[in-house]
Structures are given as C-alpha cells and as structure tokens.
Amino acid sequence: MKKKFAIPVILFIAGFLTLGMLSGFINLEQKPWPVPDAAKNKKNPVASNPESIAAGKALWSTHCKSCHGTKGLGDGSKAAQLKTEPGDFSKAVVQSQTDGALFYKTSEGRDDMPSFKKKISDADDIWSIINFMRTLKK
Ligand code: HEC
C-alpha cells in the first residue's frame, strides 16, 4: 500500500470502531426516564382480580407483546428493530416502580415506546395492563 493512503485508511477504520463502541454503550444503558411525583403517587383504581388480569393480558397481546414479548422479557418479534431496549419486565428495575409510574410511561411513551393514552382511551384498561404486568415478576 502506498504510504499516503495508509493514514486515511487507518483513521477511517478507527473512526468506525469508535462509533460502533459508542453506540454499543448507549444501547447497554437505558437513559433514566423521570416520572413526575404526582404521576408516580397515583393509586391504581382497578382492583387486581382475575377479571382485570385477564383483560390486561388480552390487551398486552394486542398492543405490547410485539416488542416486549409474551412474558415481558423484551424479546418480542419487533424488538430487534428498535433503537432502544424495551427492558425486562420480570426484573426489579421495572417491578419496583409504582403502578403510577408504569401507568405514566405507558400513557406518555418515549422514542420507540409508543404513547397509548389515545390508542387505549379507557384509562382503566391501562390500569388492567399494569395489573397483568405484575404477574410477569419472576
Ligand atoms: C414498538 C415497540 C413497543 C410497543 C408496541 C410497546 N413498547 Fe413499551 N417500551 C418499548 C421500548 C423501546 C421501551 C424503552 C423506552 C425507553 O427507555 O426510552 C419501552 C418501555 C416501556 C416501559 C418503561 C419500562 C421501564 O424500564 O421503566 C413501560 C412501562 C412500557 N414500555 C409498557 C408498555 C405497554 C404496557 C405496552 C402496550 C400497551 C407497550 N409498552 C408497548 C417499546 C414498545
């Protein structure tokens, strides 16, 4: 190889590797998703009983499963196309959040996570999905 090409080629490859590593780091860490206190402290008005959980499960299959997976592990059929990881709902990082916080995130959405307040217009249906999400805890 002629000398004058070697440096640009090396720089190009090094740049590629750096970019790849950076995007890897960004994907590994989910960025914090702040929830306003009032939303966090909102109580779930729908009692968690078999009817609510069954309703939540049906809605989950229609609206959430494609990304979050049947058991909320983040392994839905669309998950690989997403820029952000959908997370693992069996884990404490999600299960330790209040019903109000999960309701807020489901309603508002962010980036790849759609907003559901229009698509699921009855708030009680979203609360039922939260009741179902509690059954995903390992
Ligand atoms: C198109 C793919 C997609 C669909 C459909 C989807 N989600 Fe998500 N969801 C995501 C992604 C990606 C994230 C991570 C977003 C982020 O951190 O910016 C996420 C994050 C969340 C979070 C926050 C989790 C955390 O770690 O705090 C909740 C709660 C949630 N989704 C609930 C739902 C519910 C309930 C449904 C169905 C009604 C649903 N999602 C449908 C992609 C999706």
> How large is the average pLDDT for residues 89-113?
97
Residues 36-75 have pLDDT tens digits of 999 999 999 999 999 999 999 999 999 999 999 999 999 9
Angle CA(110)–CA(113)–CA(114) in degrees, nearest 5? 90
Expressed in angstroms and rounded, the spacing between residue 89 Cα and the centre of ligand 1 is: 10
Expressed in angstroms and rounded, the spacing between residue 122 Cα and the centre of ligand 1 is: 18
Q: 6 falls in which pLDDT band (50, 70, 90)? A: confident
- Residue 31 confidence (pLDDT): 87
Cα distance between residue 138 and residue 95, in whole Å: 10
Mutation pick for ligand 1 pocket among 62, 67, 81, 129 (CB with most ligand atoms within 8 Å): 67
